[in-house]
Amino acid sequence: MNTPDTKPISKTEPWMWNSGSLSITESVKDEETKVHRAVSVFQFYVQPWLAELVGSTLFIFTGCMSVIENPLDTGSLQPALAHGLALGIVIALFGEISGGHFNPAVSVSVCLIGGLNVILLLPYITAQLCGGLIGASLAKVISPPNNYFNTSGGAFNTVKDSDQVGPAVVAEMVMTLFLTMSVCMGAVNGKTRTLLAPFCIGLTITADVLAGGLISGACMNPARAFGPAAVAHYWTYHWIYWVGPMAGAVLTGTLIRLMLGDEKIRLLLK
């Protein structure tokens, strides 16, 4: 009787098959990990940088145009409304991506209270300054030359002599303190955070411009000062709009860290 040929089952074949399956599975997992890392890098670094760049461009373009095209009889009202409304809108649009800073002083104060990773501080400030340059350049392109020249391209030219320097620096410091306090307490501090933060921050800008516009120009934002100054080559007393706002930002960070912040932020009496 013929018996069918039988082939002994190799113990190595299933092992070889399993090894191949494991290799394929590991390869797929590696690819998924790479994709996940790329997405994480984009969301953590690239997307916030782009949001700060675009938001700063739109805000500073609007701010410059509100000054360049401002009829003399409206005083500070038109720039106050334009700056406040524009900032509130861009914060509402991009706040969930980058936090909606658009201002180096704001980024410094938020970083000091732990609301921004310190490795993102320099990229944020770079994006804001680049946005200032782009926004001011766009304003120059579309503005009538006479208006542009008469307003120094939207640069801050309120301070004319040395007697005005002291009051201007103090005004910028206090107004920036008000602004950064609105940002940190309204959007970062857990105990006081509110959905109305964009509205409150925009109103703070409007109030500051109406109150201090005739003293210093009410800048509160080194990027807003830098963009039109660079494009129009107007650097007279430009340093005021760095020293004053940064001093106000540091003071805000100190107050919140030491006394006003919630338990997560406050360093004293937890």
CATH assignment at residue 129: 1.20.1080.10
24-58: pLDDT as tens digits: 666 666 667 777 787 788 888 999 999 999 999 99
In a domain, 29, yes or no: no
Residues 6+ apart with CB under 8 A from 98: 47, 48, 49, 51, 52, 55, 124
Q: How many domains does the chain have?
A: 1
pLDDT at residue 30 in the model: 66
Query: What span, in angstroms and rounded, lies between the C-alpha atoms of 105 and 259?
Result: 20
In a domain, 139, yes or no: yes
141-176: pLDDT as tens digits: 999 999 999 999 999 999 999 999 999 999 999 999
Q: Is the pLDDT of residue 190 over 90?
A: yes
In a domain, 269, yes or no: no
pLDDT at residue 52 in the model: 98
Query: What's the CA dihedral at 142, 206, 51, 122 to 10 degrees?
Result: 100
In a domain, 28, yes or no: no
* Phi, psi values for residue 217, rounded to 5°: 100, -15
Three-state DSSP at 215 gives: coil
Q: Cα angle vertex 85, ends 84, 89, to 5°?
A: 120
Q: Is the pLDDT of residue 178 over 80?
A: yes
Residue 240's CB: how many other CB atoms inside 10 A?
A: 24
Q: Copy the structure tokens of residue 157.
A: 């030219």
In a domain, 36, yes or no: no
User: Poorest-confidence range of 34-43, 61-70, 127-136, 255-264?
Assistant: 34-43
pLDDT at residue 40 in the model: 83
Query: What span, in angstroms and rounded, lies between the C-alpha atoms of 96 and 189?
Result: 15
Q: Is the pLDDT of residue 245 over 90?
A: yes
**Domain range for 171:** 44-260
In a domain, 77, yes or no: yes
* Phi, psi values for residue 237, rounded to 5°: 55, 30
197 exposure class (CB count in 10 Å sphere: 0-12, 13-18, 19+): buried
The b-or-e profile of 10-32 (16+ CB within 10 A means b, else e) is: eeeeeeeeeeeeeeeeeeeeeee
Q: Is the pLDDT of residue 19 over 70?
A: no
In a domain, 210, yes or no: yes
Grade residue 179 by pLDDT with cuts at 50, 70 and 90.
very high
pLDDT at residue 14 in the model: 46
The arithmetic mean of pLDDT across residues 81-110, rounded, is 97
pLDDT at residue 15 in the model: 41
Mean pLDDT of the chain, nearest integer: 90
Q: Cα angle vertex 16, ends 15, 17, to 5°?
A: 90
Q: Is the pLDDT of residue 13 over 80?
A: no
Three-state DSSP at 196 gives: coil
Query: What span, in angstroms and rounded, lies between the C-alpha atoms of 59 and 198?
Result: 13
In a domain, 8, yes or no: no
Q: What percent of the chain has pLDDT over 90?
A: 80
pLDDT at residue 6 in the model: 52
Which DSSP helix (H) or strand (E) runs through 61?
Answer: helix 47-68
Find tokens 């106050």 and name the residue. 80
